[in-house]
Structure 1
Amino acid sequence: MFDHLAKRALLRLRRHAVFAAAALGLFALVVVPLAFILVRAVLTQTDGGWTFTAAPILEVVSGGVYWSALLNTLIIGAGATVIATAVGVPLAWLFARTNMPGRSFLERLSTIPIFIPPFVGAIAWILLSAPRIGVFNYPFRHLLGSEPFNVYSLVGISWVIGIYLAPYVMMIVAAALRSMDPSLEEAAQVSGLSRYRTATRITLPLVAPAILSGATLAFVITIGLFGTPVVIGWARQIYFVTSRIYIASQEVPPALATMAVLASYLIALSVLATLLQRWLVRGRSFVTVSGKGFRARPVVLGRSRYVAAGAVWLYCIFTIIAPVAVLIVASLSTYTWSGRFTMENVRFLWADSDVRATLRNSLLISVIAASIATTLGVAISWITQKTRVPGRQLLEYLAVLPVSVPGIAFGVGVALFWLEMPMTIYGTIWIIIFAFIGRFSGYAVRSISASLVQVHPELEESARVSGYGPVRTFLKITLPLIRPSIVASWMLLFSIFITELSMVVLLYTAETRTFSLLSFEMWNTGNFSQVASLSLLQLVVGVVVLQAVQLLWPQKNFQSSV
């Protein structure tokens, strides 16, 4: 009896220790940086200590350049969200609900833009649709004497961002469509509604929460992007809030208070978008999944299914094939579209010491950060789903809180926090790693928690009855069952980290420059051919690492919910 009580006490102590460690880590990585943004906006350091001041807020509020930046941010935020939703929702319906030919392959192909760095996409679209050098403008200039496409505009920036964010909306809405009972659609069609009216009157309203969730995510990502708006907008002096944060960070000394106020702008916009999403779905019922089993029957499109497949292929051409093709041609040119080709830009990739150093930094940072963030995600998910530790739901909330905070705003908070700490973290790769972990661990928590919910408790109970302790049960039973979601989470985080620029641009030093930052610096010099070669190398390295992970840990189907 005494041994049994001692084992239970030890188990409870271990659970509380894991909870305390995770809570302490989240407090330092998430809560404190966010708090520093708000505090630093109204406090300034003087010889006498910290004092309250409204000067930074008044400077931003009274500055016309900041209002212009905010307006531009709202315009591209709304524009990119509309484009991403308008493209993503039809894609989701075609993949999840119709008999479109090749839909499984096309669905996998349509998710590739997520793994194309936004900076790379921006460079590619400059080569495709910029005045004078844009490939799409060539035939119009020679035939009509005009150039209808101009990526250097708010519409152009919104387009580029929107088509690359469409897969996020597509995946969220497709998941909702697949889990929805199709009997309501079938009843509508029996009542005489056409396929179009059924989709617009029945299907889309029922998955409205998923659509709004995807749209909100697209908006938050857009207003926090740095690379794409700067690369395209800088040439025409189109500035955004993220641009102004970067400009403030380049002052000597950096205008930290101004950066904090501008970061607060972005946080406020993301909070307002989230509140609007909740208000739009409040008081309405969207329950479509019941205990009754169902088998979804695809909507038969007839001959139009080939038109639909052609439209999806056109999207893939715009987001994958054409951008990669122009990058290849540009990287092999002496200069952009010179008509003369050379291998110098390819040799530059392994001959230049900067390329090797920044690539090594990017791989090191991405692997370490993805591994730690995934491990933290496993710990938090296990605590929230498999224990009854008081406060566990708060732990999950803190982990996913930064998901709704724009990246560059979170980067400001991390910089402000570690600048005040006596520890020598600032100026090392660890400040970038900590920023990545704090900002993106919520992605792992969401994915792994969903997988843990599917593991029936009787599997773990059977292991414990057989004499397994809690640690051995987790390692031998639970962990293998949730391994696919763990590997998928690591791959997603790695793909984000290897291309991240918004936070890195505020946290790097000469020794901790990353590959994305090197591409940004090369773009500043105007050498598009070298930027194209760097972009292709970054894309290839990311794909190779992800393929290697899939070969080492192949994804298998585990029937874990029985």
Structure 2
Amino acid sequence: MATLTLPKPSTSNPPSSGPSLAENEKIRSGARRLGVIAFVAFLAYLVVVPIVRLQATAFEDGSAGFARAFGLDRIGRILQYTVGLAIGSLAVAMVLGTALAWAASRLPRRLEFLRILPILPIVIPAVAGIAGWAFLLSPRPGYLNAALRNLPWWSHLDEGPVDIYSIEWIVIITGFSLSSFVYMFVSSGFSNINSEMLEAAQVSGMPEWKVFFKITLPLLRPTLIYGGGVALLLGLGQFTGPLLLGTNTGVSVLTTEMYFQISDSPAQFATAAALGSPLLLAGVAVVFAQKALLGNQRRFVTHGGKAFRSQGRPSRAGAALIVVFSLLSTVLPVLALTFVSLSRYWRGSIDLSTLTFDNFRTVFGTAAVPSAITNSLVFSLTAMAIVLPLGFVAASLIVRGSRYPALRLLADVLVSLPLGVPAVIFGAAFLLTYTEGPLVLYGTPWVVILVYVTLMLPFATRMQLSTMLALGDSYLEASRVSGAGFLRTNTRILLPLMRGSLGGTAALIFVLLTHEFTASLLVRASKTQVMGTILFDAWSNGSYPQVAAIALIMTGVTAVGVSAAMLVGGADSLSKM
């Protein structure tokens, strides 16, 4: 009988038809690492290369730029004004911003709509707001000064009693404008405090004032440090107020002196770079000091079952404070702009019978202003479309890039750096970098757009970063467990959850970019004028009624843009600004 012999099973591995799972994962990991490296390298080129190239000019010819800059006869006064403006405006902004945030937390329920009023000064372009204050408080023709001279104790004066062109009033006006930024940070801090802690302190018999100083204020430390740092940096880099108000009275700071050096023929880039060095060093020091002072921010996490609500009785005094601030910071400057824009001449009295729309007809009758409005919108929207995805990727890397600790830290530093560098330095750096090879962009819209993207990186990243931290990882982990990939998780889960934050970020970026004046003034060309530079040209020519008309147009364009961002981002997007 024949015997059937079965073949023995082979112990050798079957022939491979492709890479193994481990190899595929290794390939994907390598591709991700290369992508992260490329992204961080792009950030470094965008942020660092122009600054390094500018600062290198100060060291040429044996550091001749430093010798010229710090050999100026007026350098001592310039440094004094720069430090005084920064510290003075910081003090005003911190006191006002914190007081406004406290007042907003104590509003009666029927008056909670007043919370939005302290934010409104941000909607008014800085150059327009400064012009409005000048129309109010110029020594002789200022409307408010003219009204004050009708009072008995000032009736003997021919001008004043306020001189808007003095360093003291430049400090006050700057502090008013910065207080809105501090208010946003501190009010956000108030909303994140767990009410249970305050209730426990009050139940233990602690007085209300002691609760504020012992519990609330320490928990506000992160927002106070960050908001104070931002206000200090903005004060150090302040340009618009000193340029418009201080030029004719000898009030010059480092930023305006840099502008004058670059405006010379030929442009003195080395001297300007040397003048910007103290601002650059101070900015970097403030950014790192913030990180050191905050330390481990998890110490300040207080989320619990209840959000913050005022534990004291609703305060009418708080509502009055907000209304008075809004009257001084927003209503009066806008009214002054309105009257001047409808007048044939700027003078200290108001004659309703002579009001006319001729200034608006003149403004729109020339090609320059409509072209500047179009440029402002196109440049701002294009920069926003670029910087929002950049900020999203940077925030994702900082929050979830634990695999790449060195690249994660470097990305965090790079996106924070523009916040510590005054816009005038970036304007000068981009002007120098992109007027020479290998990439010549001067005279094209792209040099303006790139400087806009660079300036907005900190805002686009930080606002999305805070939302990602608040959302946590639970939603993303649930999506991955259900089988969704990286792209689907982000588009179907994360981005919808961030809708309000994205709308608020877009609104803030649009506001800041349509207002941008400092860097635009340096990198502009005849075909790349924006609203702020056109307004400055009219101011320099003494065409004050047209200045007021352009300022109102700028404010209107900004308001429309913010409204559009709110429609896209939802009703709560303005609260995310």
Same fold, TM-score > 0.5, yes or no: yes
Give the drift of 1:16: 3.0
- Taking a change above 3 Å as real, the CA distance of residues 424 and 387 of structure 1, as seen in their structure-2 partners, is same
Aligned to 1:66: 75
Aligned to 1:306: 316
Deviation string 1:136-184 (CA, Å, 9 cap, x unpaired) is 2223323322332221111111111111111111121222222234455
Aligned to 2:537: 521
Deviation string 1:524-545 (CA, Å, 9 cap, x unpaired) is 0111110000000011011112
Give the drift of 1:132: 1.1
Which is worse superposed, 353-362 or 517-526?
353-362
1:324 to 312, 316, 334: 334
2:260 to 231, 247, 254: 247
Aligned to 1:512: 528
Deviation string 1:117-147 (CA, Å, 9 cap, x unpaired) is 1111100111111111222222332332233
State whether structure 2 residue 375 is matched by structure 1 residue 374.
Answer: no
- Taking a change above 3 Å as real, the CA distance of residues 485 and 247 of structure 1, as seen in their structure-2 partners, is same
Deviation string 1:314-368 (CA, Å, 9 cap, x unpaired) is 0001111111111111100001136322211111232110001111111111111
Where 1:335 maps in the other structure, the secondary structure is coil
Letter in 1 for 2:83: L
Equivalent residues of 2:286, 2:420 under 8 A apart: no
State whether structure 2 residue 55 is matched by structure 1 residue 41.
Answer: no
Equivalent residues of 1:56, 1:261 under 8 A apart: yes
- Taking a change above 3 Å as real, the CA distance of residues 102 and 246 of structure 1, as seen in their structure-2 partners, is farther
2:116 to 108, 111, 133: 108
Equivalent residues of 2:85, 2:171 under 8 A apart: yes
Give the Cα separation in 1 of the matches to 2:568 and 2:394.
25
Give the Cα separation in 2 of the matches to 1:545 and 1:26.
27
1:544 to 531, 554, 560: 560
Quote the RMSD (CA, aligned, Å). Answer: 2.6
Structure 2 counterparts to residues 77-226 of structure 1, below 5 A: 77-96=86-105, 98-100=106-108, 102=110, 104-143=112-151, 144-146=155-157, 147-182=160-195, 185-186=198-199, 189=202, 194-226=207-239
Give the Cα separation in 1 of the matches to 2:296 and 2:513.
38
Larger Rg: 2
Identity %: 27
Deviation string 1:204-234 (CA, Å, 9 cap, x unpaired) is 2442342232222111112212222211112
Which is worse superposed, 419-428 or 449-458?
449-458
Equivalent residues of 1:224, 1:407 under 8 A apart: yes
Where 1:423 maps in the other structure, the secondary structure is coil
Letter in 2 for 1:148: P
Give the Cα separation in 2 of the matches to 1:283 and 1:24.
27
Letter in 1 for 2:33: H
Equivalent residues of 1:100, 1:308 under 8 A apart: no
Query: How many equivalent residue pairs?
Result: 545
Give the Cα separation in 1 of the matches to 2:378 and 2:111.
37
Give the Cα separation in 2 of the matches to 1:332 and 1:243.
31
Aligned to 1:365: 379
Equivalent residues of 1:366, 1:497 under 8 A apart: yes
- Taking a change above 3 Å as real, the CA distance of residues 176 and 357 of structure 1, as seen in their structure-2 partners, is same
Aligned to 2:498: 482
Give the drift of 1:292: 5.0
Give the drift of 1:389: 4.3
Equivalent residues of 2:424, 2:518 under 8 A apart: yes
State whether structure 2 residue 276 is matched by structure 1 residue 269.
Answer: no
Aligned to 1:26: 43
Equivalent residues of 1:37, 1:263 under 8 A apart: no
State whether structure 2 residue 360 is matched by structure 1 residue 346.
Answer: yes
Equivalent residues of 2:66, 2:271 under 8 A apart: yes
- Taking a change above 3 Å as real, the CA distance of residues 460 and 141 of structure 1, as seen in their structure-2 partners, is closer
Equivalent residues of 1:415, 1:506 under 8 A apart: yes
Where 1:342 maps in the other structure, the secondary structure is coil
Give the Cα separation in 2 of the matches to 1:15 and 1:150.
59
Give the drift of 1:202: 4.1
Give the Cα separation in 2 of the matches to 1:65 and 1:192.
58
Equivalent residues of 1:95, 1:103 under 8 A apart: no
Which is worse superposed, 390-399 or 127-136?
390-399
Give the Cα separation in 1 of the matches to 2:60 and 2:498.
46
Equivalent residues of 2:258, 2:276 under 8 A apart: yes
Where 1:459 maps in the other structure, the secondary structure is helix
- Taking a change above 3 Å as real, the CA distance of residues 396 and 268 of structure 1, as seen in their structure-2 partners, is closer
Gaps of 5+ in 2: 1-17
